[in-house]
Amino acid sequence: MYIDPHIHMVSRTTDDYRQMALAGCVAITEPAFWAGYDRSSAQGFVDYFRLLTDTEPRRAAQFGIRHHTWLCINPKESEDIGLAREVLAEIPSFLDRPNVLGIGEIGLNKNSRNELIVLHEHIALAAKHQLMILVHTPHLEDKLKGTRLIMDAIREHGIDPGRVLIDHVEEHTVGEVLRREFWAGMTLYPDTKCTPQRAVDIFEMHGTDRLWINSAADWGVSDPLAVPKCQQEMRGRGHLEVAVRKVSFENPLRFLSQSGRFSTGR
Amino acid sequence: MSIPLKAREVADRYFLEHRAKVLDLAAFLDRYDRAAQADGQPASDRSDDVRLRAMTAALRLLIDGKPERARRVLELWSDHSTEPIERAPMKGAIGAAPLQDR
């Protein structure tokens, strides 16, 4: 049994839901993200939010998987501040939907001034509505700098770091994220971010507290079964089942339950 | 949570997988050099390409005998500036910041 706490099912097939259910997935959370192209208006995001709060929960339910979501305009589309503010204005009307856990995945992409302004406005929205936050950290060479800028921005708003998950950590960011008392997520990708082997290395070096694993499977090269493959890697090394369950079920359950809306249905 | 495997077991379990990765890397550098020779460009060990420079610098780090190589490679390839940039020039990232920035 496992939870995939970060996956983009709008980009995946119904057969992926079936395979995930067969592999033991009982619940997922789906943050709003970049669709691979820039949307031309705020209305495009409104339709996307309807997909996340209505269509996907029903599609997941066919396979006994509980679907939850996080809303935002992602940092890749935040360079246009005018559009970002129009989208931000639409988000409150979706916050009472039963599967909305909070604001995400917000953060930075290229660490630009406009991205940072829009990040601050998302954090303020979360603070106003007392919502949890799921953070996207930048890719590759931009990750170290961006992760630090994001954590500083969240601290400025007085948000409890125990209600914020900093995602896509790797060996050079995980220690600092945990030291600053945030939760941390490791994304299991074939080419970028973490492989299952490196994720288990990180557990062995940093422990299993306040850490989770996710597939972040989307329209790119990614794997919706990455979490059970990482479970398999842990078992293959001889780690105890209690540790496997902690990182792939108990930890996401503990963090996400703070929202008051998360359920595995069991 | 320490690693349950003994050193010999790590080698048994992972050697062939990483042997293949070393050969892939060797073949990539050979491929680059053949293309560079045909283009009249410097070979990989003298390339001006930020990515090739980053890769060859990382290879030296792998054999320095010090711990936490993965963390240090990622730090080597990271942008270490601290201020936001004026405007995002593109959406993607190339994988390594220019080494001369450090």
B13 and B37 in one domain? yes
CA B77/CA A170 separation, integer angstroms: 13
Chain B: closest CA distance from residue A112 (Å)? 5
B18 and B54 in one domain? no
Can you give the pLDDT at residue A32? 98
B37 and B5 in one domain? yes
CA A21/CA B5 separation, integer angstroms: 31
Can you give the pLDDT at residue B101? 46
CA A32/CA A48 separation, integer angstroms: 8
**pLDDT band (50, 70, 90) for residue A191:** confident
Q: If DSSP codes are grouped into helix, strand and coil, which group holds residue A58? A: helix
Can you give the pLDDT at residue A230? 98
Over the stretch B44-97, which tens digit does the pLDDT of each residue have? Answer: 999 999 999 999 999 999 999 999 999 999 999 999 999 999 999 989 999 999
CATH for A2-259, among 3.40.50.150, 2.60.40.10, 3.20.20.140, 1.10.3260.10?
Answer: 3.20.20.140
Can you give the pLDDT at residue A74? 96
Tell me the domain boundaries of chain A.
2-259
Alpha-helical runs (H) found in A74-180: 81-90, 113-129, 143-156, 174-179
Residues in B closer than 8 angstroms to A203, CB to CB, are: 1
Q: Do B93 and A141 touch (CB under 8 A)?
A: yes
Name which of B91, B101, B102 to mutate to probe chain A: the one with the most chain A Cβ atoms within 10 A of its Cβ: B91
In a domain, B39, yes or no: yes
What percentage of chain A reaches a pLDDT higher than 90?
98
Dihedral angle, C-alpha A113, A134, A161, A155, nearest 10 °: 10
Residues in B closer than 8 angstroms to A112, CB to CB, are: 84-88
In a domain, B41, yes or no: yes
The vertex-B26 CA angle with B25 and B32, nearest 5°, equals 90
Can you give the pLDDT at residue A192? 84
B9 and B21 in one domain? yes
CA distances from residue A125 to A8, A91, A136, B74 in whole angstroms, order as listed: 23, 9, 17, 33
Q: In the beta sheet, which residues pair with residue A136?
A: A107
Closest alpha carbon within chain B to A144: B78
Read off φ and ψ for residue A177, nearest 5 degrees. Answer: -60, -45
Q: Do B87 and A79 touch (CB under 8 A)?
A: yes
- For residue A205, is pLDDT > 90? yes
**pLDDT band (50, 70, 90) for residue B100:** low
In a domain, B85, yes or no: no
Q: In the beta sheet, which residues pair with residue A166?
A: A135, A184
Chain A: closest CA distance from residue B73 (Å)? 9
Over the stretch A83-122, which tens digit does the pLDDT of each residue have? Answer: 999 999 999 999 999 999 999 999 999 999 999 999 999 9
* Count of domains forming chain B: 2
B58 and B72 in one domain? yes
Chain B: closest CA distance from residue A85 (Å)? 18
CA A25/CA A2 separation, integer angstroms: 5
CA A40/CA B39 separation, integer angstroms: 41
B58 and B37 in one domain? no
In a domain, B90, yes or no: no
In a domain, B24, yes or no: yes
In a domain, B94, yes or no: no
pTM of the predicted protein model: 0.96
Over the stretch A211-252, which tens digit does the pLDDT of each residue have? Answer: 999 999 999 999 999 999 999 999 999 999 999 999 999 999
Shortest CA distance to A32 belongs to which of A68, A82, A83, A86?
A: A68
- For residue B102, is pLDDT > 90? no
Tokens read off for A220: 């790119």
Q: Give me the domain span that covers residue B36.
A: 1-46
In a domain, B22, yes or no: yes
B10 and B30 in one domain? yes
Over the stretch A142-166, which tens digit does the pLDDT of each residue have? Answer: 999 999 999 999 999 999 999 999 9
